[in-house]
Structure 1
């Protein structure tokens, strides 16, 4: 690319690419895409984005294309890689002038320099860091800031590399520049504090920005730059200085007021100080030990004493609580039960913690957490009134404790209570006892304090197991509190039903559950929506518990289900509807078929909700989950839902439709349970199977459920299904078997085995392409026992139930191996007999015995030569399946099934699905379950004897071990 002539052309195309007109934009983008791999293109881009006289949008686009080019073409081994000569020119040009006037473009330039540094620094770009350090010292505000911004991004990127060699390089870099980084940070920090005290706001904001960037650099160097930071005096000196600086900045924030222009950045840097400590603790717990005392004293004083008054803000409080939590929970600071087994550092850390967490300190922390931080704030109470759904389902799980005050204070309480429960249990119980009896509805503060204490008792339920008689408390006080209907009492009604939900799986007598169901029934009719939603949550916890008994719940089922359904209709937010649907799903799952009389309303409503939730895929996932449990509960009556159900399955499992990304997993589960419970396969259900080919191509973690779905079709509508899909399915299986784990192979082969079991007449022809690999696997001695067992199961069915197919397969293999048919047959029998121990399932072992016996009677010398092995397999099979009748002292085959019996199902068991019944009907036609092995052995040996005559047969039997013959005669007594 001729740079002089190219610059104007590229500039023109970039200008077109920044257009809002798609007819101009699209061709320009295509042209730039073609230029990406042209030599000199990135040099032109560099010239364009460093030319400050050009349009900002064009320069911005040039920077982005340059940055993308680094990702794609900077590595030496990349296709169309940028030449080393051009990269050398580019590197020099990138760090010539740190004078970009536009902040956004300056940030992008810093990022792309860091991306190049990740690949080239220090070997190909040794001058980068020295140039940055020199530029940071320049007394020019703009250049200094841009150099410092780049310095931060380079440090951040290099610190993220994790290979041992890269970490070593970063550690070398850190040791070289740490002193400079510290002095830089101290300089800018002191400058800012002087300027802010002098009231020079414009200068202070510039210094604060540099302080922030230099601290970001130090954070990366401190956390990732030293293998043993405790041994480095500068590192530990910096970390100790963090506490002093934190106090200075907190006092500064107190003095400047909320409206000051520095306020937002000031809070940002205060949080950054805490992140330094948290990251260092996380990465270097033992090096952090000298900082434990200062950290705890600092955090506790600001969060749990008056020292924090007027200074702390919510995010800072969260960070301090996180610091306390990490120190309390850190396994490196917990000695072993046998103290001698602990490291000296661990014992030291534990002693520091013990000296600081005295009884008075723990008591104060506990009381302040409960009565101050658990207290519902004015904002929360306002949210309760204005956005009850947002209040009721506010996120409090996962990592929310790292960012939000309420979850953070609750998690800290749980951890501290767990660690120091012996000291804190009496404190909490004392708080509970002081609140016995009803509370005056006019005393709002007393109601809210009671709410906080009950919250604490719920959070500490497992720790209080031996200290609280919850059943008695439930009867004597909590039930009464649920019956106070006054509007001002609603925080307590909501808290008490939540509290019961926390305890129900911890300590709650089964015979009290009817009282709880009655309370739930009442509260689901409460005038307050938040109380109703919380009650629904407790219902889910109650029915989802191990102690749940359906018979206790049945008297309340109709009313409760109706009220939960009403609640589902009343709520409007997507998250709330999902939440209530999960409650409904849980109830349906636990009561199973007992739900049938009550689901009409839900069945009518779900199609409407599905339509309304077109833009809310997570809500649709919740609907799919509900449908799964609904179909299970309805059993064969689920067919009445097909007009809605089948289009939902079709959409959810169609990989050409964008929603499948969210809906596929639940959609497959719904597809499977629909098939398992359908009385018969409909044309529409057969049509949906067209989605399967693309699903099998994905070869994802969903393959297992796909195989289950295929099996369901095989057992439901074998002939029709196989005529439509066998050819494509066979081809898909051949592709899958090329690249799949051993377990995956077994799952594919089991599907084939099921085809042969259900349809032995045409199944082998339809899946004939899969049989040679199976035959080969047996002959070649497949080394995985579970795969070999499946191979033998497949071939056993072909041999036993489709002789002509077996003969043609034998001929095909003789051609392939270029050996006589008898030789191939002999090898097969020999391997079969040798690998019988691979087969562990009694059904398959009997199948092998029947299959090998089906070769008799025969005059074939090879079969007669292998007669001993065949008899060995038969006797093994007889041992597996024959049981002795003690009354008659005769043997009978325990695998024989003469008729289909509906099993008796206890209330705790799920009733059999239609699929279970179909499998039983298939078993009634399966030789494994219809042919007596004992009878079959007798008939085959009798036929062989008749074929060979007495003398010949006796000679044949003499090839069998005498002990085996004795055992065989024992089984055949009476014939």
Structure 2
């Protein structure tokens, strides 16, 4: 059935594609958008027919002709994507079209690896060109980058393209002709210069932290750390280039380590010694190179004296305390974590533990008692509501920053807040600031927050009672305080349950 409609589907796809290009370059975007939608639909049909419609697609000239045409069409659509600009009504559909073409290649490779062999050369040339040469500048976008990386990865790792390991001895007996042909194509493509450029570009371009990631690190370090951990450990071919680049790097490094090990070692050598904290570019580059060394730890086992590197450089870098150097401190600790199970002498571990402990100690805590005492003193001294609110905001930030380590110093504040709450009866915004402080205080005290119940529970009761006029100001913070109190309370008490009388009106 597929062969019966394939010619018609191809002609339909070709017609709509040509029509779209005529219209878009004639600046008729409205008509072009309609043609683009029809092109997209016809390509979806062709993709299904090509991937699932034939048992031996390599025997069908039209199928192979279409797949070869995909590369030229992709180039045309990418160039169109470059020219239309970000404000074009067609831009979103163009991205979908480009991704659909790459999906066609990836699906065909997955389902018909042997039939894909004649396409290996063009696929590698296409993907490498757009990923690692100036050809990709201005036309590549995240999903397209990921798709191209996946295409290279699937070709490199495909078991059907790997002859027996001992090629010389088993070429006649074990290796299939298809495997030998694919291996020959890959070997001819992945020359020393090509592999060197791919390795360098993966590390120096795709491994670099982005401005968005750096901003996230500054604003929310914990979320940044969790995100990076999830992306790295849970990556299964997702939609972000960085983790995909790491997977591709590992696969290529494993397959061609004899070529790539010297390349990576040279990159490490070029970054010896502490990096200028004012040189953001070099800091990011060192982070990327150290990332590569950590990922390739097992491959580098015989080529890196990690113990000496740790003693002579990494240890020194962990002791650079400048704020901007935290990028390298974080990466070095991660790097050691990657290598510790690979190659790290046990007698160096006590030294490592000392460094880790020093990194975990917060230098601000040395001043915590005096800071908190002075802030509390200031809170009592000032008389203006706005000033009290600002002081409470700073106190809240301190409590949030040090969390449970605030416990020894909050006694006076706990005693003073009920008085301040009573005094602020006519000042709802000040009461909002008190609620915020209580939220952080409950989190810091954890189960010990039960000692605050005589003050805390009436505050929650009032703030969440919609029959009371102040609820207009206090409800949102009151609900959050109620939640954190429930989360941190060691047990449910009758007093806690009594607050649930407010729940019906809140629903």
- TM-score, length of structure 1 as denominator length: 0.38
- 1:184 to 1:607, Cα distance in 2 relative to 1, 3 A: farther
- Greater relative contact order (CA < 8 Å, ≥ 6 in sequence): 2
**Residue in 2 that maps onto 1:487:** 323
3-state SS of paired residue (1:393):
helix
**Residue in 1 that maps onto 2:267:** 431
**Residue in 1 that maps onto 2:219:** 386
**Residue in 2 that maps onto 1:756:** none
The yes-or-no answer on 1:474 pairing with 2:310 is yes
Of the candidates 372, 387, 396, which is equivalent to residue 205 of structure 2? 372
What per-residue deviation string (whole Å, max 9, x for no partner) do you get for residues 810-839 of structure 1?
xxxxxxxxxxxxxxxxxxxxxxxxxxxxxx
The yes-or-no answer on 1:342 pairing with 2:189 is no
| Aligned Cα root-mean-square deviation (Å) | 2.8
The yes-or-no answer on 1:203 pairing with 2:26 is no
Of the candidates 415, 421, 426, which is equivalent to residue 251 of structure 2? 415
Of the candidates 193, 211, 223, which is equivalent to residue 21 of structure 2? 193
8 Å contact from structure 2 (residues 204, 288) kept in 1? yes
Matches within 5 A, 1:665-676: none
**Residue in 2 that maps onto 1:319:** 147
**Residue in 2 that maps onto 1:462:** 298
What per-residue deviation string (whole Å, max 9, x for no partner) do you get for residues 950-975 of structure 1?
xxxxxxxxxxxxxxxxxxxxxxxxxx
Question: What is the distance in 1 between the residues matched to 2:137 and 2:275?
Answer: 30
- 1:474 to 1:183, Cα distance in 2 relative to 1, 3 A: same
Question: What is the distance in 1 between the residues matched to 2:481 and 2:339?
Answer: 35
8 Å contact from structure 2 (residues 294, 339) kept in 1? yes
**Residue in 1 that maps onto 2:423:** none
**Residue in 2 that maps onto 1:769:** none
Question: What is the distance in 2 between the residues matched to 1:200 and 1:260?
Answer: 11
What per-residue deviation string (whole Å, max 9, x for no partner) do you get for residues 398-445 of structure 1?
345431111011111111111111111011011111111111112221
Question: What is the distance in 1 between the residues matched to 2:362 and 2:445?
Answer: 25
3-state SS of paired residue (1:325):
helix
Question: What is the distance in 2 between the residues matched to 1:193 and 1:413?
Answer: 36
What per-residue deviation string (whole Å, max 9, x for no partner) do you get for residues 694-724 of structure 1?
xxxxxxxxxxxxxxxxxxxxxxxxxxxxxxx
The total of aligned residue pairs comes to 382
**Residue in 1 that maps onto 2:113:** 285
8 Å contact from structure 2 (residues 81, 91) kept in 1? yes
Question: What is the distance in 2 between the residues matched to 1:402 and 1:450?
Answer: 25
Question: What is the distance in 2 between the residues matched to 1:214 and 1:347?
Answer: 36
- 1:518 to 1:401, Cα distance in 2 relative to 1, 3 A: farther
What per-residue deviation string (whole Å, max 9, x for no partner) do you get for residues 202-235 of structure 1?
1000000111111111111111111111111111
The yes-or-no answer on 1:505 pairing with 2:356 is no
8 Å contact from structure 1 (residues 223, 283) kept in 2? yes
What per-residue deviation string (whole Å, max 9, x for no partner) do you get for residues 824-882 of structure 1?
xxxxxxxxxxxxxxxxxxxxxxxxxxxxxxxxxxxxxxxxxxxxxxxxxxxxxxxxxxx
3-state SS of paired residue (2:125):
helix
Question: What is the distance in 1 between the residues matched to 2:159 and 2:482?
Answer: 47
Question: What is the distance in 2 between the residues matched to 1:292 and 1:567?
Answer: 56
Structure 1 residue 391, shift from structure 2 partner: 1.6
**Residue in 2 that maps onto 1:181:** 9
Question: What is the distance in 2 between the residues matched to 1:209 and 1:493?
Answer: 50
**Residue in 1 that maps onto 2:384:** none
**Residue in 1 that maps onto 2:124:** 296
3-state SS of paired residue (1:402):
coil
Question: What is the distance in 2 between the residues matched to 1:392 and 1:614?
Answer: 29
3-state SS of paired residue (1:220):
helix
Question: What is the distance in 1 between the residues matched to 2:189 and 2:448?
Answer: 60
Stretches of structure 2 that go unaligned for 5 or more consecutive residues are 365-399, 406-442, 450-478, 493-507
8 Å contact from structure 2 (residues 123, 151) kept in 1? yes
Larger Rg: 1
**Residue in 1 that maps onto 2:161:** 333
8 Å contact from structure 1 (residues 454, 495) kept in 2? yes
What per-residue deviation string (whole Å, max 9, x for no partner) do you get for residues 906-949 of structure 1?
xxxxxxxxxxxxxxxxxxxxxxxxxxxxxxxxxxxxxxxxxxxx
The yes-or-no answer on 1:403 pairing with 2:224 is no
The yes-or-no answer on 1:237 pairing with 2:73 is no
8 Å contact from structure 2 (residues 404, 445) kept in 1? no
8 Å contact from structure 2 (residues 206, 242) kept in 1? yes
**Residue in 2 that maps onto 1:451:** 287
Question: What is the distance in 2 between the residues matched to 1:527 and 1:179?
Answer: 72
Matches within 5 A, 1:791-810: none
Structure 1 residue 521, shift from structure 2 partner: 0.9
Question: What is the distance in 2 between the residues matched to 1:393 and 1:346?
Answer: 41
Stretches of structure 1 that go unaligned for 5 or more consecutive residues are 1-172, 529-564, 571-601, 624-640, 646-975
Structure 1 residue 604, shift from structure 2 partner: 7.8
The yes-or-no answer on 1:363 pairing with 2:196 is yes
8 Å contact from structure 1 (residues 336, 342) kept in 2? yes
Structure 1 residue 525, shift from structure 2 partner: 2.7
8 Å contact from structure 1 (residues 401, 408) kept in 2? yes
The yes-or-no answer on 1:525 pairing with 2:361 is yes
Question: What is the distance in 2 between the residues matched to 1:248 and 1:527?
Answer: 58
Structure 1 residue 607, shift from structure 2 partner: 9.4
8 Å contact from structure 1 (residues 319, 402) kept in 2? no
- Give the 4+ runs in structure 1 shifted more than 3 A: 565-570, 602-608, 611-616
